[in-house]
Structures are given as structure tokens and as C-alpha cells.
Amino acid sequence: MKLHIKSNVSWVGKIDWELRKFHGDEYSTHRGSTYNSYLIEEEKVALIDTVWIPFAKEYVENLRKIIDLKKIDYVIANHAESDHSGALPELMSHIPDTPIYCTANGIKFLRGHYHQDWNFHAVKTGDRLSLGKKELIFIEAPMLHWPDTMFCYLTGDNILFSNDGFGQHYASEFMFNDLVDQAELMAECIKYYANILTPFSQSVDKKIKEVLSFNLPVDIICTSHGVIWRDNPVQIIEQYLKWANNYKENQITIVYDTMWNGTRVMAENIASGIKQSDQKVNVKLYNLSKSDKNDVITEIFKSKAILVGSPTINRGILTAVAALLEEIKGLRFQGKKAAAFGCYGWSGESVKVISENLESAGFKVVDAGIRSLWNPDTKSIETCVEYGKKVAGLFN
């Protein structure tokens, strides 16, 4: 399959409608994904990125129908992760001497993955590669989201090839941002940012400002996953600048797990108290054992504050809650508040354990949290409602 983008630039990647888990089993992909590879056929021919390993043979077979592989003058590897470099061994078995342009880290990482001594050329920000009348300009983008990541820019056509940046795990036969359902698209964009790019928000902000300072016109952004931004591509750049700067909506998310429903009853009554105190705030509840982890993380990303609940078990907390706390520690959310709650029967450590974890994850824990002995009785339920009213104020 070859999809024309502009002038002599085409998409030659793979749409993966079946994908439901990415990064092993770490990231849910309800709407599949795409691995975007681009072919630029100017006086010189450049191929930007490839596809994931399971599609390597199919990809190269497809490419051979489009172009004699020997006519590819340059391979550009914007990022060494296997979803983009996976077809390199198959491709390079046909054209072993063709130069591969990537960052110095890219060379290390590609060698680490494939143990091949291909004809590597390291590039830095500002380096140019002539394709004839047009040029590719390379822009290193370390930690967006790996140390090897880079973007490149095609002069004349004003296309930014941004690799993972501005991408989404979103399969669509339309392939262009103006043709797809906008709500679906933005839902996948924010999920991608929340789950993958949040820890690198400072780098995102800095890199976007650096690229903007080059004053290069950007007509199209060709990402490595999901749709190509050809209609008002600035919209996703502006959205990234918002997401990179302590993003929050007027939302409070309550996440919990429960053994015999006591902690669920607490969650619902805390929510009731919040709503009684503040009708405008969007309160959402998720039982972590029944919810998709990555969807919950997206909701946390959108929140100004979270409440985390677990009953006490073996002096600790339930594993679904522990797993979420471990994940959000790595994501390093900024500027969010939090509190803990949970039922207990005798020792009752869960609220303290959750609060400590939230603090070490960078949340501002607003108080000591709330506990309920055994199943909440009428008095306990009233206490939870009152607690909801109180934290509604503390979370502002």
C-alpha cells in the first residue's frame, strides 16, 4: 500500500487493526495502531523509519512493489524502538550498504537490538542531507521519548517527521487528521501523551519551543503512529504545550479497589459529598480491578486531584491499587493534589501506605485521609460525605 501525502512524499507503513496491547502488555490499544514509514522520492530517495517486527516481510514485499530497493539512497531511523526499526534487518538484507542516518544514540541502540554493523551515519541537530532540490534537516529530540529520538524536516514541502511525538495509537484507513472522528482522535492523543510522554513534559515544552524558534513553516506533521496532521497541524503542537505544563481540568478522579464493598461505599459517598459541595467539578470513579489501567491514567492526567482507596490487607493495600501507585510514581505527574481512604478491620495501615506512596509520586497530599472500621455504618457514611465536602474545598 502506498498513500500519497504531498509532492513526492508517500506513506508506506502498516495499519495494525488487531493490536490491543503495546509495549508488551503495558499499554492498551483499543483502536489498534499504525506503524508509519515514509518514502521521499526526489532526485535522491530517502526512506524514513520502518514497521514493527511481525510485519517486516510484508512491509519489505510491499516496498519492493513500489520501488526497486536499490534505488533507496538513504534510510533514516528517527528512533530505534522495535515498532519503527523492526523491519530494518529484513530491509538491510536486500540493501546492506545503504547508509542509515540516525543519532549517535540511535547507532548504539540499533546495534544493541540487532547486533549488525550497518553503514551508520550519526547526525546532530542542524545537519542537512540533500535530496536534490530539497533537503532533510535533522533535529535531535532526546527523551521524546527515548535518548535516541530525533525528528527530521523536509524543506520545500514543509513536512515535519516527528516520530512518536504528536502520535496516537489509532488505526484508520483514512490516515489523515481531517478525515477521522475528532473525538476519537483527541481521546487517543491525550491517552498517548498521559501514558507515554508525561515524564518528559519538560523536554516536550523545551523541544517544541526550540523547533518553533527555527521559524520553519510546518504544513504537515508526519508522526510514526496514527494519523498524519495535514489540517491545521499547529493544533496538536498547541495541545502538547498545554499538556506539558501541569495540565489539569476541573476533574476529581476517585480510584479504589474493594474486597467486600466497604471501600466502594466509601468512594461513592465521598463522591456524593464532593458533588454536594461543588456542582461544577467532574467527579469520576474507577474500580481499578475492573478498569483499564491506561484509561485510568488518562483520567488522572486530566484531574486536578485524585482520591485513592484500598482496604487494609496484610498490613498493606490491594495489588491493583499498589500497581497503579507504582505506575504513577514513574509518570511523575506535576501540580496535582491527592488524599487516601479505605476500610479496615483491625490494623488499618492502608490509608497511611497510600498517602506515603502518593507523596513519593509527587502529589500534594492534603490531609491524613479517612478510614472506616468494618463496613461503613450510617455514621461512617455521613463522615464520608462530610469528608467529600471538605476535600472538594482542599482540592481547589
Stated as kind and residue range, the H or E segment containing 179 is: none
Cα separation of 156 and 158, whole Å? 6
**31 vs 390, beta carbon nearer ligand FEO:** 31
Active site residue 83: yes
Rg of the chain over all Cα atoms, to the nearest angstrom: 24
Q: Is 188 in the site for ligand FEO (CB under 6 A)?
A: no
Q: Is 148 in the site for ligand FEO (CB under 6 A)?
A: no
Which member of 16, 27, 74, 79 is catalytic?
Answer: 79
* One character per residue 1-40, x = contact with ligand FEO (rule: CB under 6 A): ----------------------------------------
Site for ligand FEO in 84-103 (CB under 6 A): 84
Cα separation of 12 and 76, whole Å? 14
Stretch that binds ligand FEO, among 78-86, 90-98, 203-211, 373-381 (CB under 6 A): 78-86
Cβ distance 287 to 259 under 8 Å?
Answer: no
Torsion of CA 200, 201, 202, 204, to 10 degrees: 90
**Helix extents (H) in the chain:** 56-66, 82-85, 88-94, 104-114, 182-192, 201-213, 234-243, 262-277, 293-302, 319-331, 350-360, 378-394
Q: Is 81 in the site for ligand FEO (CB under 6 A)?
A: yes
Active site residue 367: no
Which member of 16, 169, 225, 286 is catalytic?
Answer: 225
**Whose CB is nearest to ligand FEO?**
81
34, 224, 303, 350: which one binds ligand FEO (CB under 6 A): 224
Active site residue 81: yes
Length of the chain: 396
**131 vs 139, beta carbon nearer ligand FEO:** 139
Active site residue 49: no
User: What crossing angle do the helices spanning 350-360 and 319-331 adopt, rounded to 10°?
Assistant: 20
Active site residue 192: yes
User: What crossing angle do the helices spanning 319-331 and 293-302 adopt, rounded to 10°?
Assistant: 50
Active site residue 127: no
Q: Which of 243, 206, 377, 392 is nearest to 307 (CA)?
A: 392
164, 257, 268, 299: which one binds ligand FEO (CB under 6 A): 164
Active site residue 225: yes
| Binding residues vs ligand FEO (CB under 6 A) | 79, 81, 83-84, 145-146, 164, 224-225
Active site residues: 23, 79, 81, 83, 145, 164, 192, 225
